[in-house]
Amino acid sequence: MKNKNDKTEWDRRGFLTCMAWVGTGAVWTMTGGILKGMPIEQAARGAAARSTAEAGGLRFVQISDSHIGFNKDANPDVTATLRAAIAKIHALPQAPSFVLHTGDLTHLSKPEEFDTLQQELTGLGAPVFYVPGEHDVLNDNGKSYLERYGKDTKGAGWYSFNQAGVHFIGLVNVVDLKAGGMGSLGAEQLEWLEADVKRLKSSTPIVVFAHIPLWSVYPEWGWGTDDSARALSYLKRFGSVSVLNGHIHQVMQKVEGNVTFHTAMSTAFPQPAPGAAPSPGPMKVEADRLKKMLGLASIAYHDVHHPIAVTDLPLDNGVASAGADGRQIVVDHSSFSPAAATVPVRP
């Protein structure tokens, strides 16, 4: 992009494309750097769903922002909605190999909140890999988090592991928040990252997961990471890089070269769209809409020659009015002007 305004417009288009299917879930595929998506109901009738639900390959799930301990009007029972997310995972056509939790496990870093989360996630029956959110390091600079989840990690909790030929990297960008709440990785972690990926072949698929987005979603609200450009510079030579984040409690996606960025819904409460409110924070919605705006992401990866599919699964897919041809178009958690528009649907 030639200037800041061009980049902002590009980001907004990506936001609107992703948010249009939040109410029903979406299957996303990437081929040759071009992102394509369809409502999950449509995908379920076609080959895309068959390839992700039946074919072999690595499958894992991302959950985020459980905020155990939160009990305000936006969601007075976050444990119940976490349980609904776990039930959604159990209902998947094929059990995931593991689960990634991208931070804000708790709301106030209290021992009893960590205990509750651990008790609930035991029911998954699958390994869980964690990175902390800023709400998990409110006390003692994250010592309690590290005692529970930091075994065999470096520094404030960063680490990497390999699974089915894919290299996973868990980063921590919530310990030294910058002015305005922007995330920060820090020199020590960046040096570790550079060394960690240097030994890998360029054909190795990379999945990076961290709490705060590694791209500038909305810096005015601290929705970005101050030194992410340096981190991403180490990943440019790889042909397939996926970056999974939480923090903003809504689905947004962006493609930049060979890197796909994806943020997940929360299991606790929604937040407003960027700039749609005076500030970020828990957003109260009608009771019948809450579970449509909470959820998780299911990721399928086959090999480097096949697209990565990210399916966003709201806790309640809801019911939408069908168009004249019987197909559903759902827009939830967004406002548009004009309020009504005619949208052609391709088969």
pLDDT in tens, 3-32: 433 333 333 333 333 333 333 333 333 333
**Spatial separation of the C-alpha atoms in residues 111 and 119, rounded to whole Å:** 12
Q: Sign of dihedral through CA atoms 213, 215, 217, 218?
A: positive
Is the predicted pLDDT of residue 330 greater than 60, yes or no? no
User: What integer best gives the mean pLDDT of the chain?
Assistant: 79
Query: pLDDT tens across 147-191, in order?
Result: 999 999 999 999 999 998 899 999 999 998 877 789 999 999 999
Average pLDDT over residues 186-208: 96
CB atoms within 10 A of CB 65: 28
Instruction: Provide the pLDDT confidence category of residue 56 given band limits of 50, 70 and 90.
Output: low
Instruction: Provide the pLDDT confidence category of residue 59 given band limits of 50, 70 and 90.
Output: confident
CB atoms within 10 A of CB 320: 17
Is the predicted pLDDT of residue 281 greater than 60, yes or no? yes
Strands of 202-324 (E only): list them. 206-209, 241-245, 252-256, 259-263, 295-301, 309-314
Q: What is the pLDDT of residue 344?
A: 52
Average pLDDT over residues 200-222: 95
Query: pLDDT tens across 291-327, in order?
Result: 999 998 888 876 555 556 777 889 986 533 333 333 3
Judged on CB neighbours under 10 Å (0-12, 13-18, 19+), 55 is exposed
Q: What is the pLDDT of residue 139?
A: 84
Query: pLDDT tens across 102-139, in order?
Result: 999 999 999 999 999 999 999 999 999 999 999 999 98
Query: pLDDT tens across 266-280, in order?
Result: 999 999 999 999 999
Number of H helices, E strands in the chain: 9, 13
**Spatial separation of the C-alpha atoms in residues 169 and 210, rounded to whole Å:** 8
Q: What is the pLDDT of residue 303?
A: 58
Residue with tokens 């890089």: 241
Is the predicted pLDDT of residue 72 greater than 80, yes or no? yes
* CA 32, chain centre distance (Å): 22
Is the predicted pLDDT of residue 336 greater than 60, yes or no? no
Q: What is the pLDDT of residue 92?
A: 87
Is the predicted pLDDT of residue 33 greater than 70, yes or no? no
